[in-house]
Structure 1
Amino acid sequence: MLDQGAPPPHDASAVPPSPGLAARLMRRKPVERLVAEGGQGEGGSLRRSLGLWQLTMISIGATLGTGIFVVLGEAVPKAGPAVTLSFVIAGLTALFSALSYAELAGTIPVAGSSYSYAYATMGELVAWICGWCLVLEYGVSVAAVAVGWGEYLNELLDGTIGVTLPAALSAPPGDGGIFNLPALIVVLLAMTFLLGGARESACANTIMVVVKIAALVLFCAIGVQGFRSGNYEHFMPLGMAGVSAAGATLFFSYIGFDAASTAGEEAKNAQRDLPRAIMLSLVIVTVLYVLVAAVAVGAKPWRTFTDSEASLAQIMTDVTGQSFWGTLLAFCAVVAIASVVLTVLYGQTRVLFAMSRDGLVPKVFSKVHPKTGAPRANTLIVSLFCGVLAAAVPLGQLADATSIGTLFAFALVNVAVVVLRRTRPEMRRTFRVPLSPVLPALGFGLCVWMMGSLSTVTWVVFGVWMAVGLVFYFVYGHRRSRLATPVPSEARTHQK
C-alpha cells in the first residue's frame, strides 16, 4: 500500500529523457520538414521567381570566370597540346560531384545547398561543419575574385585610355598599397543588384554571362584563323603524368557549378529545374573550356605559353595584328569576373539564410524584405564584410582556402547522396546518380585526393577556421538550434 503522505510516483513517460550530447550532435532534420519550411523564416519567405534559364546562368556565372582567362598559362606548360584532354579529365572529375548535387538538389529543393543536404542525412554537427566550410569558400572566394577584378580593370584602363589607378588605391596594405578601392567597388555593385531581389540580380547576371560566352566564342572565331596543325605534332610531350598534373590544376576552374543549388527556394520548379541547371551548366562550361584550349594551342606553340593573365588577349593581338581585340577581351574579362562576384555573393547569403532559419546563426540573416523578397540585412552584412576583406586584407595564399572549403563540401555531398538512398529509398527523385554508390564513391575519393594536394598553409588556415567554427557552434548554435525545441512545439512547427 502506498503511503498517503508520499509524493506520487514519477511517471517516466510524462517527460521524455533528455538526449545525450552525442545524440544531440547527430540529430537530423527530416527532409519533409526541410521542404515544408522552405523559404519560411521568422523574418519572411524567399520568392520563387527563377526558371531553368536563370538557374543555369547562375551556375555558369559562378564557374566561368577568372579560370579560363588565366589558367591556360599555368596548365599548358604542364601538359602541352594535350591540355584539351586535361580539361576533359577535370570536367569528368567535377561531374562525379555534380551528379550527386543534381540528385540532392532535386530531392531536397531548399536553400543552403550542401549544408541542408548534410543536415538531412548526417546530422547537425556535420551540417554545421559543412555550412562553415561554405562560409569560408564563398567569403574568401568573393574577396579573392574582387581583387582579381581590380587587376583586370587596371589593364583595361591602361589599354583604352592609358591610365592606371595608383598602387595606393588598387592594392591592400602589405601588397604595396593602402586600400584596394576597385575590389570594394565591385562587391558593392554586386550588393546593389542583390538588394533588388533574386529575379533582378539573376537578370543582371544573365546579361554578364552572355557577354563572356560571346567573348570566348569570338576568341575561338578569331584564334582559329591563326591555327597551325604543326602545333599539335607532339600531342602529349610530357606524358600522361603531365596531363594529370594539368587536370588537377584545371579542376578548380570548374568550381561554382553548385551555385544553383543555393537557389532551391527561389526556383519556380526546383525539383525539375535544379538538376537540369547543374548538369547543363557543367556541359556548357566544359565545351567552352575545351574549344578555347584547342584553339589557343593551335594558334600558339605550347612552349611559348607563360603564366600570364593576358594569354588569350595576346593570342588575339598576334593573330589580327591589332590591339583592339585584346582590349575587347580585357573588357569581357572585367564583365566575367563581376558576374562571379555577384553569383558567389548570392550563394553566400542563401547559405547563411538557411543556417539562420535553423537557429545556428543569428536571426538577422533570415530576415527578408517584404517588398523585394531579398534577405536585405544578410546581404548588407555579408557584402560589407567581403568588401572590406578584399580591400584591406592581403589574401595571398589564404585565397587557396576557397579550394579546400569547396572540396570538403563536395566530399560530404557525395556521402549524403548514398546515405539518403539507404535511409529513404522510397523518396521521389527527379534525378538519380547512375551506378550509385560507385560514382559517388569516386567523387568522394577524388575530392579527398585533391585536398591532399593543397599546401600546408592552406590546411593550417582550414584547421584554424574549423576550430573557430566549432567554438561558435557550441557557444551559440548548439543551444539555439530549432531542433533543440521540445517535441510538441516541433510537431506544431512541422504541421504549419
Structure 2
Amino acid sequence: MCSGITSASSAAVAFGDTYLAEFITSPMPLMAILFIALLGVINFRGVRESVTTNVVLTCIEIGGLLIIIGVGAWAVLNGAGEPSRLVEFNTQDQTMLVAITSATSLAFFSMVGFEDSVNMAEETKDPARVFPKAMLWGMVIAATIYIFVSVTSSLLVPAGDLEAAESGALLKVIDIGAPGMPREIFSAIGLFAVINSALINMLMASRLVYGMANERIIPKVFGTVHPFRRSPWVAIVFTSVIAMVLVSTVDIDVLGGTTALLLLVVFAVVNVAVLALRRDPVPHKHFRAPTIIPVFAAIFCLYLASPLSGRPARDYVVAAILLVVGLVLWGVNHLAMRRSSEAATADE
C-alpha cells in the first residue's frame, strides 16, 4: 500500500513539474494535489471505469515510448549519437558492484506495477492459466521496450544530462534526436503516461486498505463502501490524502527510491512465502515456478533493499515514517477489538 502511494506521488510530481509545465505555468504542489484529487474521483467511480481508462492510457504510453525508440534510431542512422557511451563505466567513488546494484535498485522502480494486477486476478476467467502468461509476457515486453529506450537515450544524451533532467529525461532525447518535433506532443503523451501509472497504483492502494479493514488488520471504518457506487470511499480518501502530503513535502528522487525499497522488501517476503506455501497442498490447479527462482529472487531483493547496494539513508527514513503510520492504525484497531471483546465477555 505504501509503495503504491509513493509511486503515485512520484507520478504526480512528474505530472505537475515536468509535462504540464510545457503547457501552463502553475505551482507544482498545487497541480500535483489537484492531480491526486482527480485520480480519487476516477477511483471512486469504480473498477470498470478505472481499468478502461488504464487500458486506453497504456496504449498511448506505449506509443510515446515507440516514438522515443524511433527518434533515437533515426538520429543514430543519420550520424548522431555516441556509441562509446554504451560501454562507459563511470563509478566515481564507488566499486563496480555497488555502482551496478545501486542503479539496479533504482531502475527497479520502472518495473513496478505488475504486482498490482494480482489484486484483480480473481476478476479473470481461469486465472491459473491466463494470469501467469499475461504477467510473464507483459514483463518481457515491457523490459524489451525499456532496454531499447535506455540504449537510444544513452546514445543521444550523456548520462549526466539524463540524470540532471530527472523526470524530463525523455524530453532531452526528443530535443536532440528530433529538434523539429514540438515538445508539446511528447509532453501530452507524458501526461497520459504518468496519469496511467498513478491511477493503477492508487486503485491498488485503496483496495489493499479496504481488504485489510475487512480482515480486521486495521480499523473497520476503512472498509466502508459507498451505498450507490459500492466503492471503498474511506480508503480512497485516506490514500489520496497521504499522497497529497507526500507530493507537497518530498522530492521525486526520494519518492522513487522509497517505492523501490518498499517493493523490494515486499517481493523478498513474497518469494519466501512462495516456498513456505508449497508445504500446504491445494486441490485446485495452480502455477508453479521452478524452486531456484524464488530462492534467488528473495536473496537478490534483500540485497538490493539493504545499504550494501548503495541505497541512500533518506529512502529508509520515508519508508519508516509510512510504515509507522500503518503500525499505528494496526495498534488502534488491536486495542479497539480487544476492548470490544472484553465488553462482550463482561456482558455474558
Shorter chain as denominator, the TM-score bin is 0.7 to 0.9
Cα shift readout 1:170-219 (whole Å, capped 9, x = no counterpart): 2xxxxxxxxx2111121122112112211111111111111110111122
After superposition, residues 430-441 of structure 1 pair within 5 angstroms as 430-434=286-290, 436=291, 438-441=292-295
Partner of 2:93: none
Partner of 1:377: 234
**Which residue identity lines up with residue 156 of structure 1 in the other structure?**
E
State the secondary structure of the residue aligned to 1:252.
helix
Cα shift readout 1:287-327 (whole Å, capped 9, x = no counterpart): 11012123333445667655214332233233333141x33
Partner of 1:196: 45
State the secondary structure of the residue aligned to 1:433.
coil
State the secondary structure of the residue aligned to 1:253.
helix
After superposition, residues 207-218 of structure 1 pair within 5 angstroms as 207-218=56-67
Cα shift readout 1:79-127 (whole Å, capped 9, x = no counterpart): xxxxxxxxxxxxxxxxxxxxxxxxxxxxxxxxxxxxxxxxxxxxxxxxx
**Aligned: 1:138 with 2:20:** no
How far, CA to CA, are the matches of 1:395 and 1:305 in structure 2?
17
After superposition, residues 347-362 of structure 1 pair within 5 angstroms as 347-362=204-219
How far, CA to CA, are the matches of 2:47 and 2:196 in structure 1?
14
**Which residue identity lines up with residue 480 of structure 1 in the other structure?**
M
Q: Is the 8 A contact 2:156 2:176 kept in 1?
A: no
User: What is the number of equivalent residue pairs in this alignment?
Assistant: 327
Match of 2:203 among 341, 346, 355: 346
Partner of 2:296: 442
Q: Is the 8 A contact 2:219 2:332 kept in 1?
A: no
* Alpha-carbon offset, residue 344 of structure 1: 0.5
Cα shift readout 1:323-370 (whole Å, capped 9, x = no counterpart): 41x331121111111111110000101111111111122223323345
How far, CA to CA, are the matches of 1:246 and 1:398 in structure 2?
14
**Which residue identity lines up with residue 274 of structure 1 in the other structure?**
F
Q: Which has the higher helix share?
A: 2
Deviates more, 1:363-372 or 1:219-228: 363-372
Cα shift readout 1:130-183 (whole Å, capped 9, x = no counterpart): xxxx3x2222332232122111244321xxxxx412xxx32xxxxxxxxx2111
Q: Is the 8 A contact 2:216 2:333 kept in 1?
A: no
After superposition, residues 35-114 of structure 1 pair within 5 angstroms as none
Partner of 1:337: 194
How far, CA to CA, are the matches of 2:246 and 2:319 in structure 1?
19
* Alpha-carbon offset, residue 415 of structure 1: 0.6
Match of 1:418 among 261, 272, 275: 275
Match of 2:168 among 306, 310, 326: 310
Partner of 2:178: 320
**Aligned: 1:366 with 2:227:** no
Q: Is the 8 A contact 1:397 1:457 kept in 2?
A: no
* Alpha-carbon offset, residue 403 of structure 1: 2.5
**Which residue identity lines up with residue 441 of structure 1 in the other structure?**
V
Q: 1:467 to 1:372 in 2, by over 3 A?
A: closer
How far, CA to CA, are the matches of 1:392 and 1:310 in structure 2?
19
Q: 1:250 to 1:414 in 2, by over 3 A?
A: same
Partner of 2:88: 237
* Alpha-carbon offset, residue 474 of structure 1: 3.9
Partner of 2:25: 164
Partner of 2:15: 149
* Alpha-carbon offset, residue 244 of structure 1: 5.0
Percentage of matched positions with identical amino acids: 23
Which consecutive residues of structure 1, in runs of 5 or more, have no partner in the other structure? Answer: 1-133, 158-162, 171-179, 486-496
* Alpha-carbon offset, residue 451 of structure 1: 1.1
Partner of 1:276: 133
Partner of 1:494: none
How far, CA to CA, are the matches of 1:143 and 1:299 in structure 2?
29
Question: What's the C-alpha RMSD, in Å, of the aligned pairs?
Answer: 3.0
How far, CA to CA, are the matches of 2:222 and 2:50 in structure 1?
19
Deviates more, 1:462-471 or 1:259-268: 462-471
**Aligned: 1:185 with 2:34:** yes
Partner of 1:40: none
Q: 1:407 to 1:243 in 2, by over 3 A?
A: closer
Q: 1:138 to 1:323 in 2, by over 3 A?
A: same
